[in-house]
Amino acid sequence: MKKALAFLSALVMLSASSAAAVPASAADSYDMNITVDLSAAGKAISPYIYGINEYGHQDDLKKVTATAYRQGGNRMTAYNWETNASNAGSDWKYSSDNNLSNSDAPADCVQQLSRDAAKYNVGYKLTTLQLAGYAAADKNGTVTEAEAAPSDRWNEVVLTKGSAFAETPDLTDGTVYMDEYVNYIITKLGDSQSATGIQGYSLDNEPALWHNTHSRIHPNPVGMKELSDKSAEMAEAVKKLDPKAEIFGPALYGYTAYDHLADTDSDTEWETLKEAGGYHWYIDYYLDTMKQASDKAGTRLLDVLDIHYYSESCRNGTADRLQSVRTLYEKGFVENSWIGQWCQTNIPILPTVQASIDKYYPGTKLGITEYNFGGDDEVSGAIAQIEALGCYADAGVYFASIWGGSGYILSGLNLYTNYDGKGGSFGETLMPTETGDVSKSSAYAAKNADASTVTLALTNKELSAAEHAVITLSDAEKVYKKAAVYLIDSSTTDIRYLDVYDVADGRLDLTLPAYSAAMVVISDDDNAFDGAKPEEKTQKSTVYEDPMSLVNENGFVEIPITDAAHLKQIIITGDVTSSAGSSWGNAGCAVCINAVTPDGTKFWTSKGYSLSLGSGSKAIVDFDGTLTVKDKETDTETEVPATVADGKIELQKWWDASEKQEAEIEDTIAVTYTKVEVVYEYTGAGERTPGDVNADGEVTLADLVALQKFLLAETRTLADWQAADLDGNDKLNAADLTVLKRKLLAKA
């Protein structure tokens, strides 16, 4: 018994989180009046603003309902389509390798993009064309500074071949032709109008940073005329091959690039061009030069002005993240960052960008092909994501694809595209919507084609106060009767069903919990939400407060998995340090798993995650009942139904990257795990037989032995966690053992 008590005193506490609707009260709520004007014509919403980037998201397509899919990022700048070699640049040791594809078959990456999009019904596919001048010639690892281009580590990139295209690329000529690449794509996949073809081509990625990120191939800052000339030549070549394909450019990395392209000490070229053309900022010049080139070519050479946006203020944490989107759309808003301090002339950003388009190249669409407001592991991430998508719809953004993101951020995207898990989505036409105070609550409403349904994306930014929302549907032609509410809050990263409410005389009253976001679905059908309530789900979690004490004989942190069949998520927190004192760094890690299929077949697999430099860095690794198995003969990966075997997983670090490593300085990025939370999810309630710990259908002494062994750490697993929680406190401890003993004695 002493042994049991000693263990139990150190037993990790288990907790369940299941939140119900928070009732309004004078003490902890406030009133928010929201008006949706249904008399107006509204604005058509582009279906392509609900996109994601391919890099880092390949496994997310099965859990995120996306409408657009972009193949881009730093890895694509030196991508060699002939062999699929690519170079990481300063992101990771200037390594040329097989990061993008294990295949040597030409254009495998873009063909995989097409296959994935088809599998998950993603309609718009955007890939990247290389403009920086060189592509990786091999997959042999780090390229040193002495091997910078031109050298045998690189193949020259030529935009237009000027002769007949080869059926298969010549791997011996030291040259990669970009128009030949486009022709190869069309031959393999069809043109932009085909279901499998590529709809859009991006003119490289973040050229203003080439001299930093890809200094081995473009050591000097890109010139403004250089970029416009290359953009026009590449675009014209694409249009000759696929006239209806859309051209995206120039993929500006952020505000500084909008203003003067490359962030350098000398902006002589810009000052000269700015004065000569009377331009406000660099975006004006790019649009103007592309318009002139288009007029000369006799065809539009820029369809979508492509910018990236990473909020500066959200770096400061929750409070600033909750307000960060306002910089994009609200005149007079001042965010807490250098942009708020020094750049108010161009705030709000999206209307300023649109004004440049209207002046210099009317008809050009707006794309935001990379953005992220942070907050994967907290509700503010969902709130910012939801407000951003509403803002994009209101600003007429044509295409948007989030870079990175997990947890709450992806749930924020799903709230628009699949709020009920059955394909329910935000309406097609945005309607004018007013809310009393956007610092407390943002609101965006839309209606579907026949106006039978109005959807309202609503956020409550107050951390501690519930929101009593009075929603008025003004001048509606329809009589709306019922409303269902789907919620994101602190109880889970998933969207959960809240309740159905009555709508009377065009008015709906409801209360949102503090720090939450919702999709309010309003219907003219009195029976629209019959049966909408999903089967109840309960989450329970095991928290390991001292993971470093769980280092095994292999030197890895080993985390017990007590109920593999119901494993939903592992939330990992750690402190990441740099031995060289880098200002930024990342540790590339993996959850390593011995897996087992339902038929008993075992295999090894992993799920990757990364932790960034600093204290309290977090990562979320999701499980959905499938794991990836690799065929060694064909080098292909397939997802199969499988769970964790052997009652454990290992946390391993596989690679690291940092600021100092860019200069080839030895720098060890170390991870100290400070907390690991293992989340289990159960569907339904009451079907478990209390005490049937081994799940054999009856409660016997064998169940008592099984529970005792688990509590004494003699075994790592339980067949039925819920059945073992006999006192109903969502924890497994000696009290449950006592209840089970009494149950067996009473039975005897």
Q: Cite the active site residues.
A: 206
CB distance 582 to 658 below 8 Å:
yes
Q: For 323-337, give one letter per residue: b (16+ CB within 10 A) or e.
A: bbbbbbbbeebebbb
CB distance 489 to 549 below 8 Å:
no
CB distance 399 to 365 below 8 Å:
yes
Give the list of residues 6+ apart from residue 510 with CB closer than 8 angstroms, or none.
468, 469, 471, 483, 485, 501, 520
Residue written as token pair 């750490």 = 713
Give the list of residues 6+ apart from residue 235 with CB closer than 8 angstroms, or none.
203, 247, 249, 290, 293, 301, 302
Task: Report the chain's terminal Cα–Cα distance, integer Å.
Answer: 23
Q: Are β-strands 124-129 and 200-203 bridged in parallel, bridged antiparallel, or unpaired?
A: parallel
Q: Are β-strands 516-523 and 482-489 bridged in parallel, bridged antiparallel, or unpaired?
A: antiparallel
Residue written as token pair 């031109």 = 150
- Pairwise CA distance, residues 262 & 276, whole Å: 19
Q: Reduce the DSSP state of residue 52 to 3 states and report it.
A: strand
Q: Reduce the DSSP state of residue 253 to 3 states and report it.
A: coil
Q: What is each CA distance from 338 to 255, 263, 312, 331, 341, in whole angstroms?
A: 11, 15, 8, 17, 5
* Cis peptide upstream of residue 547 (ω within 30 degrees of 0): no
DSSP line for 646-690: EEEEEEEEEEEEETGGGGT----EEEEEEEEEEEEEEESSS-S-T
Q: Reduce the DSSP state of residue 76 to 3 states and report it.
A: helix
Strands, sheet with 29-37, edge to edge from the N-terminal-most edge strand: 433-435, 29-37, 466-474, 507-512
CB distance 290 to 361 below 8 Å:
yes
Query: Tell me, what DSSP letter sits at residue 124?
Result: E
Bridge partners of 595, per DSSP, are 603, 644
CB distance 470 to 48 below 8 Å:
no
- SS3 string of 550-600? HECCCCCEEEECCCHHHEEEEEEEEEEEECCCCCCEEEEEEEEEEEECCCC
